[in-house]
Amino acid sequence: MLQQPILPEHGLFIDGAYVPATSGRMFEKISPVSGSVIAKVHEAGREDVDRAVRAAKAALSGPWGKMTVVERAGLLQDLSRAINDRFDDFLEAEIADTGKPRSLARMVDIPRGGANFATFADMIKNLGAEFFETATPDGGRAINYGVHRPKGVIAVISPWNLPLLLMTWKVGPAMACGNTVVVKPSEITPHTATLLGEVMNAVGIPKGVYNVIHGFGPNSAGEFLTQHPLVDGITFTGETRTGEAIMKQAAVGLRDISFELGGKNAAIVFADADLDKAVAGTMQSAFSNCGQVCLGTERVYVERSVYGEFVSRLKKGAEGLVLGGPDTPGVSMGPLVSEEHRDKVLSYYRLAEEEGATVVTGGGVPQFGDERDGGFFIQPTIWTGLPDTSPIIREEIFGPCCHIRPFDSEEEVIALANDSDYGLCSAIWTENLSRAHRVAPQIEVGLVWVNSWFLRDLRTAFGGSKKSGIGREGGEHSLEFYTERANICVKL
């Protein structure tokens, strides 16, 4: 009789140590590639969350709170280097959780995961402050200057699509500003947040500064964390409905929030665009990471004179994608992250056909004849012919799919792009510089790319309008959220 393999267990990371959950509950981590169980994860109960928050609170007045900005920034630089030293460990953890191509995680996820700490370490050392000289009623003078204090304990609730990158995008600036954090990674992708605890200890980050709790949202770790009265700020990336629920909980005690939520992003392709660039860019924005990118393109508007050619070329590109596991030769697209998420995306695939969409390509589930048939793969899909009122056009699908529609004028396409409850980002493809500058400011989103996609300078503002979020991250915008500003007035 074959003996069942012993699965690894992921405990909680609280006050500098890995500990089991006092709840006694664990849940299974499923491989997106094969559908098999690859680990067991401890689910934090309310008592565990309380321990983590109190450890973070205590650390604020310990060695961490007494460090100078330069000392703290130096530790974060060490942390960035230590992540790169363990690059392969983080890479294996990331692809085990997500199933994404190794080449993608190697190029994007892990390098950015480490860079987020180095970037904000540099920024905090150069953060300026206000200074004013004021006349006083008695004819004298006073000086006023601003100071920044850490906000306190930050609840970091991070998503599953870019687990390390988006978690450190929040933890990096929070720690740079002197805060402590309690991280609740997605229950679907627990590995890299857990592994980061080892690196924190190795570089000498004081205990309690970084804590990790595992679990789900309602009536589990997520809700226990956002309800905790000692949490001073909540930062969340994820679905809009979840953001609404967190916002209600944050209202008790008036805790500050920073939300990066859903998107239904538009790409606009003008007839004067370089179609090679436009097709390649849209291939990336629609199908990269199996479409599981908040910045991804699900609505494509193409000027009528080049519409047919664009559809034909994007179809050819989609059908040329190689689906497979992280190490499949030539792989360009991995699986969706979970069976539940694939069921959701497939429900939209069925709905599109029911509504009479023309399925240009895709629309189903690929068959491999091996263990991948137990995973959560899905075909890249392109539709045309749906009305602007269709849920396919209105609702975020978060899969490798897009709908392409022709347009005839600038005014028309601006109105179409803005006809959305969301306002995260957009991509404009044109070789007309005047048109680019004319159209881009009229698109009601937080970020517009011209002739590119996913090109980021970490110093710039990132975030959405409408139902796509509250606040901005990146550069000084992140530092603003993670600090409390005070004015000091001195009469001379």
pLDDT tens-digit series, residues 211-248: 999 999 999 999 999 999 999 999 999 999 999 999 99
pLDDT value of position 7: 75
pLDDT tens-digit series, residues 60-105: 999 999 999 999 999 999 999 999 999 999 999 999 999 999 999 9
Average pLDDT over residues 429-435: 97
Instruction: Give the three-state DSSP class for 214.
Output: coil
Q: Among 177, 294, 401, 425, which one carries the catalytic annotation?
A: 294
Dist. CA 271–CA 280, nearest whole Å: 16
Is 290 an active-site residue?
Answer: no
End-to-end CA distance of the chain: 86
Give the pair of three-digit tokens for residue 473: 């991250």
Residue 358, φ and ψ in degrees, nearest 5: -85, 120
Domain borders along the chain are 9-261+469-491, 265-457
Residue 40 scores a pLDDT above 60: yes
Q: Which helix (H) or strand (E) holds 53?
A: helix 46-60
Q: Are 211 and 221 in contact (CB under 8 A)?
A: no
Is 294 an active-site residue?
Answer: yes
pLDDT tens-digit series, residues 321-362: 999 999 999 999 999 999 999 999 999 999 999 999 999 999
The structure's pTM equals 0.95
Residue 5 scores a pLDDT above 70: no
Evaluate the CA torsion angle 462, 128, 482, 206 in order and state its sign: positive
Q: How many CB atoms lie within 10 A of CB 28?
A: 12
Q: Which helix (H) or strand (E) holds 70?
A: helix 69-85
Superfamily assignment of 265-457 in CATH? Aldehyde Dehydrogenase; Chain A, domain 2 (3.40.309.10)
Band (8; pLDDT cuts 50, 70, 90): confident
Band (2; pLDDT cuts 50, 70, 90): very low
Q: Among 43, 94, 187, 260, which one carries the catalytic annotation?
A: 260
pLDDT value of position 113: 95
Residue 335, φ and ψ in degrees, nearest 5: -85, 170
pLDDT value of position 4: 52
Range 9-261+469-491 classified under CATH 3.40.50.720: no
pLDDT value of position 329: 94
pLDDT value of position 129: 85
Reported in sequence order, the residue ranges of 31-140 that DSSP labels E, i.e. its strands, are 37-42, 131-135
Q: How many CB atoms lie within 10 A of CB 208?
A: 24
Dist. CA 263–CA 467, nearest whole Å: 8
Residue 473 scores a pLDDT above 60: yes
